Amino acid sequence: MKINPDSLNMILSIIGPIGTLLTVVLVFLTLKEMEKQRRESYKPVIVIPQFDLKAKGRVHDKVFTFYSLYRGAIFEEVQIGDSNKPEKNVVFKGAHVILRNLGVGAAKNIVIEWKLDFDLIEAINRIKEFFYKNSVPIVLEVKKGELYVSEKFTPESSHPSTYTIEPQVKNIDYLLPQVVEPLGTHIQFPKIYEKLVCLLATIYENQQPEWLVPDLPLILKISYQDIGNKQYKNQFRLRMTRYLHLRQANKEVPDFFVVFEITQIH
């Protein structure tokens, strides 16, 4: 079969650009995969480990009240640090969550926002109802975007404490990977939330069997960037799931622990 030279030239002229196009596509896909691998090599991943809180309390006329929180450390996850050192639970003061970066790259320009995920007025009304029915001299009032709490056990303690209701925002410059910064960074709970948990601990310790304690879910929004300025957003829901009160013979007020369930919802 004789091939016409003009037809052969036409076929070659078509194949040439197609081959060039396929080469360009192959190079593009290769570069895209390399870019993906490069980003994965410094991608930060921020998480919140399991934790619990312990309420510090006192007793007034046989009524147990709780007034401050700190990390309980009975359900803390084990610290990951120097493998040559023995593993141990780490206890920090104050009511806070710990953010850890499980990724291989640093997170920067971190913005933290706390938001109450429940009807605050309804929760306060339920607490007020219990205190009223059980003659607990603690008065709650909401006005001008703040919660006022007065403990009237003694004249000296009658001055109200105030707690801001608005969502709270905190900025962090950076968070290094856990292999570099194993202790992570500490984010304080909103003061109003701390107070509500203490009030619920007071109710739980003095409650009637039919009175149910709400779980007070809390939303923690976290946005951050990697070193290549790519934006990430995480959202966690924290909910109280278990209450423990441990009585010791040498202590008048029992130890009260609150265990939290953490769910990533975004």
Strands 46-47 and 138-143: unpaired
Question: What are the backbone dihedrals phi and psi of residue 16, each rounded to the nearest 5 degrees, phi first?
Answer: -55, -55
Cβ atoms of residues 141 and 76 within 8 Å: no
**Tens of pLDDT, residues 98-134:** 999 999 899 999 999 999 999 999 889 988 888 888 8
Contact 81, 182 (CB under 8 A): yes
Q: Which domain holds residue 110?
A: 46-117+167-264
Taking the whole predicted model, whether its pTM rises above 0.85 is answered as: no
Residue 211 lies in a domain: yes
Would residue 123 count as lying in a domain? no
Alpha helices, DSSP H only, in the chain?
5-40, 120-133, 191-206
pLDDT digits (tens, 9 = 90+) for 20-78: 666 666 666 666 655 665 555 678 999 998 888 888 888 777 777 888 888 765 655 44
User: Does residue 142 sit within a domain?
Assistant: no
Q: Is residue 55 part of a domain?
A: yes
Structural domain includes residue 243: yes
Same domain assignment for residues 1 and 79: no
Residue 256 lies in a domain: yes
**What gap in Å lies between CA 23 and CA 200, rounded to an integer?**
67
At 36, the amino acid letter reads K
On whether the CB atoms of residues 45 and 236 are closer than 8 A, the answer is no
3-state helix, strand, coil in the chain (%, to 5): 25, 35, 35
What span, in angstroms and rounded, lies between the C-alpha atoms of 107 and 204?
40
Domain count, the chain: 2
